[in-house]
Amino acid sequence: MTQVLYRKYRPKTFAEIEGQEHIVRTLQGALLSGRVGHAYLFCGPRGTGKTTMARLLAKAINCQELNAKRLTLNALEPCNACPSCIAVNVGNSLDLIEIDAASNRGIDEIRNLKDSAMVAAPGAGYKIFIIDEVHMLTPPAFNALLKILEEPPAHVVFVLATTEPHKVIDTILSRVQRFDFKKIGIDGIIGRLKSIARAEKVNIEEPALATLASAASGSLRDAISSLSKLIAYTGLPVQEGSAKITAEDAAEILGVVPLQVHENLIDLIAQKKPQEAIVQISTLFESGVELEHFNKQFVRHLRALLIARIGYVSVAPAVQAMVIDQRGPGGNAALTPEFLIKAINLFVKAGAELKFSPIPQLPLELAILELTKMS
């Protein structure tokens, strides 16, 4: 069976981690000084590299080559060649124990973990425990884990991972080093998708990558999973020089409305053509598009257009490129920051009213009419 892309291209070195440089630098500093903590908490949104970072830390701690040369290195990376690194990479390391707290959340599982922690690591190095979704543990299980963290064996390192750190009890939080993972920027996601597509010999257009990255909401894993679905949907990979995967393909597989529809709608509104704009909303509704979902996408498009127009430097260039070209003759000249701010406010209000409206498309129609009646 073919390995899924996000597993196939999971980073094997710290340098390959995207968007978490502040954490990489701190962990490498601890490795370089030999002051690795006994317990860490990795928290942040899904798909941002928490478990991957935990595995890299486990691999680096027990890497034979790295430990032999640590004092002569400026930046630490696992060698991926020694028996310990290879065992972690293929998933059969006896020194690395991973526990999913969502399905192993009781006190008995934590007692078993404690018994295992008391036994020396088979490889004579450190035994590393990764507890994923640690916030799912029951109160008695948390108390049992606390006992281990209070008096941990010298050969044990714990890495707790969670998307909801506020559910972890304070007594646990006080005994771990906490690292907060950030959502990954759109440019970073696009760059990673581009390198994966190149390695897989897949031709894909830049707007399609931007669509995948934008829909992922900062989760690199979600973006890579969407790329996998997109390749399967289009029947590709394709050979060099043949047809590319398009933004329309990406919109179809993600269930989003293509960018051109958003561009056309805002142009019609700016040109004060309410009848045509309302017809487009009606067409979307009749074709089965979920209007609440569409409205959220449209507001995102308006925001991206606004930010690109005012030259806000933190906007991803790929997204900026998709919206900044909306400058054609006629109505596009009316897309001033003031107009876009008004449009955003009206469609945000319409979005809140959609679920209660007796006529599904009415709030969007009213927003269009109010914008096109502006002086």
CATH code for position 292: 1.20.272.10
Q: Are residues 53 and 158 in the same domain?
A: yes
In a shared domain, residues 229 and 325: no
Query: Which DSSP letter does residue 155 get?
Result: T
A 10 A CB-CB count for 237 gives 14
Confidence of residue 323 (pLDDT cuts 50, 70, 90): low
- Co-location of 224 and 339 in the same domain: no
Q: What is the pLDDT of residue 367?
A: 95
Q: Which of the two residues, 169 and 322, has the higher pLDDT score? A: 169
C-alpha–C-alpha distance, residues 41 and 158, integer Å = 8
> In this structure, are 112 and 62 located in the same domain?
yes
More confident residue, 270 or 320: 270
Q: Could you say which of 154, 180, 206 is where a domain stops?
A: 180
**pLDDT > 90? residue 9:** no
Q: Which of 361, 363, 362, 334 is nearest to 348 (CA)?
A: 363
pLDDT at 200: 85
Specify the pLDDT at position 252. 78
| Residue 315 pLDDT exceeds 70 | no
| Number of domains within the chain | 3
| Rounded distance between C-alpha atoms, residue 145 and residue 143, angstroms | 5
311 and 175, same structural domain?
no
CB 173 within 8 A of CB 157: no
Q: How far apart are CA 276 and CA 182, in angstroms?
A: 42
d(CA 292, CA 285): 10
Give the residue from 256, 267, 264, 268 showing the smallest Cα distance to 210. Answer: 256
Q: Identify which has the larger pLDDT, 140 or 313.
A: 140
Instruction: Read off the pLDDT of each residue in 183-196 and give the average, rounded to a whole number.
Output: 89
**Same domain, yes or no, for 120 and 172?**
yes
The residue type found at 343 is A
Same-domain check for residues 38 and 104? yes
User: How far is Cα 55 from Cα 70, in angstroms, rounded to an integer?
Assistant: 19
159 plus 227 within the same structural domain: no
Among residues 209, 238, 254, which one ends one of the domains?
254
Based on the fold, state whether residues 232 and 318 are members of the same structural domain. no
- Residue 363 and residue 275 in one domain: yes
Per-residue model confidence (pLDDT) at position 331: 40
Shared domain check, 105 and 206: no
Q: Do 129 and 171 belong together in one domain?
A: yes
Crossing angle between the packed helical segments 220-234 and 206-215, to the nearest 10 degrees = 130
What is the domain extent for residue 161? 5-180
CATH for 58: 3.40.50.300
Average pLDDT, the chain: 84
- Tell me what pLDDT residue 328 has: 41
Q: What is the mean pLDDT of residues 192-205?
A: 87
Q: What's the pLDDT score for residue 69?
A: 66
The residue-averaged pLDDT of 351-367 equals 93
Please give the pLDDT value at position 57.
93
Q: Which of 254, 273, 289 is the last residue of a domain?
A: 254
